[in-house]
Amino acid sequence: MSGTAIVLYFHVHQPFRLRRYSWFDVGRQPHHFDDGGNAEIVRRVAERCYVPMTSLLTALAKEHEGRFRCAFSITSTVLEQMSRWAPDALDGFLRLVDTGCAEVVSETSHHSLAFLGDEDEFRAQIEAQSDRLEATFGQRPVTFRNTELIIDANVARIAEELGFRALLGEGADHLLGWLPTSDVYRPHGTERLKLLLRNYRFSDDIAFRFSNRGWEEWPLSAAKFSRWMHEVAEDARQVGLFMDFETAGEHQWEETGIFEFMRHMPGPLLDGGRFRFLTPGEAAAEIPAERDLELPFAVSWADAERDLSAWLGNPMQRAAHAALYDILPDVRRAAAGGRTDLLEAWRKMSTSDHVYYMATKGWTDGEVHEYFSPFDSPHAAHVTFMNALDDLARRAASAAREPAAAVS
């Protein structure tokens, strides 16, 4: 088919935030996570975002008789929270998938940085996530997005080895150079995998700039956005609009008009036949790869640098990340002996948000980190994490010794 594909993709995630875990709790308190706070947050986000947004997307799929299509990834951590505390939100995602117009995208189950820490764990989390998505939504994912859209050559290699057809990534200037984000690429070293890139200008117009009254283009209407999109080169193969699901209702409040924008956005784009909405898997199946693309370093969609500095940019973050993976062998031995609860606790601590809260960046990026963090400071986030990890390490080491002690 001719025309430019619009690949509209959303990321859905909530971490299991740690409670204020002090040094005095180590060895005494096995409960590391703030269940009360996590329940309160997911219920609030469900009311503001998940329920109205899934309802809106479902209505758009029906209104446009299947021509409007979208995709979303949804971590196991937020699936568990919705199951426990906001089942109406999960029902909304199920109804959206039932339209046949939404693709479910896989990632790591716990939104982790396992691709850096341990390849076996990386693969295990991906397989567990794909299994859970298939069991929940009835779809076996064919598209993979790594945590925070991080891509490099190793991520691409593993995604292909695990059978994925498409990989999502950030169209960062320092990766592409003169190449356009609108091409479909083959990650260098892979044979079948297609790489679809995010158009950060158009995506960020919606996700970040929409409610900024100081932005020279404010307010952004569906008609204006359609006009910009129609200025895209005629030979563009795809435009990747990738953003957090929480953009509508949580990051951009209802009062900003974000839901009205989303409601009216597809119509002008579908009129005239220039554009068509495709899910990532559909785009990968239909659009040939233009050329190979080298992925010599890690690229993400986070912060101005679009690298790994949002999570590993300072010594606190790097120390926490290293300490987490140092205890994984004991956690695995404990799990093999029956203490799977310790592996699940470890995986919840592997969620990248925990080191994200420790970032010490300044200016705008620093403000974004502070907005998402439940802690008063990066240092407080680091102390809490290390205390909880110390407790988990002691419990895992003790459990890992138990089978050997029982045999003797």
- Is residue 335 a contact partner of residue 343, using CB atoms and an 8 Å limit? yes
Give Cα 31 distance to the centre of its chain: 26
Of 377, 369, 352, 358, nearest to 317 by C-alpha is 358
Phi/psi of residue 279, nearest 5 degrees: -75, 165
pTM of the model: 0.95
Residue corresponding to tokens 């339209």: 99
Q: E strands within 253-389? A: 275-277, 291-293
Of 130, 137, 116, 103, nearest to 325 by C-alpha is 116
Of 164, 171, 134, 116, nearest to 149 by C-alpha is 171
For the CA atoms of 145, 114, 78, 129, what is the dihedral angle to 10 degrees? 60
Computed from CA positions of residues 379, 32, 127, 12, in that sequence, does the dihedral angle turn out positive or negative?
negative
SS3 341: helix
Domain with residues 4-293, CATH architecture: Alpha-Beta Barrel (3.20)
- Counting every residue, how long is the chain? 408
**Amino acid of residue 330:** D
User: Which residues, including other chains, have CB under 8 Å from residue 268's CB and lie 6 or more apart?
Assistant: 222, 223, 225, 226
Tokens encoding 329: 């062998």
The pLDDT, as a whole number, for residue 83 is: 98
User: Which residues, including other chains, have CB under 8 Å from residue 272's CB and lie 6 or more apart?
Assistant: none
Q: How far apart are CA 260 and CA 290, in angstroms?
A: 36
Using CB atoms within 10 A of its CB, is residue 401 exposed (0-12), middle (13-18) or buried (19+)?
Answer: middle
| Active-site entry in 148, 160, 246, 250 | 148
The pLDDT, as a whole number, for residue 200 is: 96
Tokens encoding 200: 């950060």
SS3 105: strand
Q: How far apart are CA 331 and CA 115, in angstroms?
A: 18
Q: E strands within 166-303? A: 166-170, 185-187, 194-198, 238-244, 275-277, 291-293
Residue corresponding to tokens 């559909």: 282
SS3 87: helix
The domain ranges of the chain are: 4-293, 311-402
- Is residue 302 a contact partner of residue 146, using CB atoms and an 8 Å limit? no
What are the tens digits of pLDDT across the range 122-165? 999 999 999 999 999 999 999 999 999 999 999 999 999 999 99
Q: How far apart are CA 60 and CA 266, in angstroms?
A: 8
Look up 148 and say whether it is catalytic: yes
Burial 199-238 (b: 16+ CB within 10 A, else e): bbebbebbbbbbbeeeeeeeebebeebbeebeebeeebbb
pLDDT tens by residue, the chain, 408 residues: 578 999 999 999 999 999 999 999 999 999 999 999 999 999 999 999 999 999 999 999 999 999 999 999 999 999 999 999 999 999 999 999 999 999 999 999 999 999 999 999 999 999 999 999 999 999 999 999 999 999 999 999 999 999 999 999 999 999 999 999 999 999 999 999 999 999 999 999 999 999 999 999 999 999 999 999 999 999 999 999 999 999 999 999 999 999 999 999 999 999 988 999 999 999 999 999 989 999 999 999 987 889 999 999 999 999 999 999 999 999 999 999 999 999 999 999 999 999 999 999 754 554 565 667 899 999 999 999 999 999 999 999 999 988 544 433
